[in-house]
Structure 1
Amino acid sequence: MRLLPVLRAARVAALAFVFLGLAPTAWAQSPVATGEVAPSAVPHIADVPVPAPPVPLLWKVSGDHGALYLLGSFHFLQPADYPLSEDVARTLAAAGEVVFELSPEELESPTLAMQMMQAGLRSDGSRLDDDLPPALAADLAAWGEANLAAQPTGGMSAQSLQLFKPWFASLLVTTTELGRYGLQAQLGMDAYLARQAREAGKATAGLETASEQIGFLDGLGQVEQVEMLREALDQAQGGQASIEALHGAWRAGDAAQLWNGMALDMRARFPALYRRINTERNDAWLPKLEQMLQQDGEILVIVGTLHLLGEDGVVEKLAAKGYEVERICSACAPPPAIEIGDGTAPVPEERTPATPPVTAPQDEVPMPPADADDVPPPQPELPARDSATPTR
């Protein structure tokens, strides 16, 4: 699989909900969301053994008094993605506070799902089809008939889609498709680490409120919302490849591939949407992150992966302000060194990749077998030198 083209085919709705963290947990609790499925009953995105924990997208930012650890989340995961790496476990154990996009208290609030659903309902008596071109309306109806009747969606039907705004219908399509391949918000990194932090008795907080986060979606213009829905339906028709590419790139911890193969394409194709749900939020978080850097101790901040990547991400923005930034990745480290004389050199050991490869290997040109005529003739064995014979 050629990763860059596949990542570029990943649809904007999937990017928004998987990497930008726009209310996935609230959606998972919604009455119209796909019902919770036992992990054993869900097909994995790749039916192969997982060789190692995911390579973390984790950065350390050093301040005058303490340190901030920025961890890139994937908001929909599967059981095989756990446990997380030792780097993440050590960082969580050392952190005095754990900060999420939304505080765990808000994420677990029984009113959050209803708040999100109310925002997604149409209130003017119109129908969703009134906003859509006829061809797109037909595609949505076909998707609903094929999927909603077979899913435990709390009584949701294809006709019920007419009650909602395009962004909400887009979310329904995307999360249903993610669930088809075993990726669930209930198993996302945010939910997992929130439980871990609570069990360890750590202080927790959020960078945003639920109302703000839902407002990013509900505040999108109609053109952007319709485009999100179109892209979500195209994603559903495209099948597993682009979802698998997103998940695989995150597991591999490949920041360059995620930025070059996905984020830049999203920014070019949907500049207003990208600016609203990524860049503007990053800029709003920067003062809060800088305040944390003035505190003593260590703080772990967990946000959607795209918020950390590239020139628009908070990692480069903090580095541009003069903070010392380094990536924390034991799986990325060079092999250990051994002493040779009075210097050092790396041990020439073979390293096993931490995750399955996410890019297609270069085409290898097989070497032709050596011709028998090219093999040098055996050399005659010299007689052993007598130990008494002097050498020159």
Structure 2
Amino acid sequence: MYSLYSWGSPFKPEGLYSFDPSCISIQTYLQLSKAEWQLHHVNGAGMSSSGCLPVLTCEQTAAESGFWRIVQFLKSEGYDLNAELDEEQVAQSIAYISMVQDHLVDALLFSWYMVPENFAGAIRPRLANLFGFPLSFVIPTQLRDYAEGRLESRGIHCGATATSSTDSSSGGSTGLSALKDKIPRIYLLAKEGFSSHEDRSGHHVYAQSSKCLDLLSKKLDKKDYFYGGKPTTLDTVVYGYLSLMLYPDLPQNTLKSMIVKDYPNLADFCNRIHAQLEAPDVASEPSWAAGVGQIIKQSLPQFDVFGSYSLARAKDDPDLASKLLSVASALVAFFGYALYNGIIPVPDLKPRPSAESAPHVFTTSDLLAAIKQSPPNAPAEQA
């Protein structure tokens, strides 16, 4: 039996078992290829040699990580959804998959993280609930920063950047950037609520995604699947992306409106696959302790081998002691907070009294009976 390690899902009520399209694509591939597998939700990609999820293991031995490597491994194991395609169709399928992974992800990231109404009203609360304390304070904003960085690197400007470029032309970008760095993060998060009703449905990123959706719609045409009557690898990838556009409920869901209105055959295709998928066998969920471990891993220096740290590297960093002390202080503060607020239960070591030695607890009935038995206007007892 295979074990798939995947990002978790804040969209389980919608029948989705990850918020990552690549993880959903592999989950779909495993189900449609009739492989036996279990799902493990994790809070990070630390177990992956390539630093990315999903990761597939076979009999507790790491097999592959990342979408393409896992697909190639499953193909070698006899689970090949492209078995009936010829070489030309396989090459064409790879081209379509590359287009989907390259273009639709931009629209998805923009819709989730760069539309304030969606991020503040739906995505951030759901991700916070998924990861739990303390990662709820870290990962949603990290994902948002990653999305903004990727989009900016691809020339897709995200609202606030336009303001920065205007300030740059007037020579004030350095001062504005320095000022922004000093603003508490909590204020920046709260500020999103003031602009939460900004309409971004006309952003050019949606026009780019529309071109990709148009090509997919024409390729699918009136067929059940992209290459006829059976699903292929391309079908699993397209479903992985479209499902995250169609099923999560967002305040400003431009992508869903676009697909349902302009490309109804893609919406029907997604619903067709969605109806075939069963809830996976979820073998494990991440705990809050795993979340603490993830923060520790990100905070501590990267050791070549855990538990050993070369003296030369220690000498190169004269502030190592103070860094470790600050990390230790933070951990002590966290566990103190957790104990005080009952996040970590403290066992009661006191022996419980037996039924015979336990004092009688007066109930409301006892009190009423005592009042009825007492004589009216009883004189007060002399001291």
- Give TM-score scaled by structure 2 length: 0.22
In our comparison, the structure showing a higher alpha carbon Rg is 2
Higher strand share: 1
Compare relative contact order (CA 8 Å, sep 6+) and give the higher one, 1 or 2. 1
- Give TM-score scaled by structure 1 length: 0.22
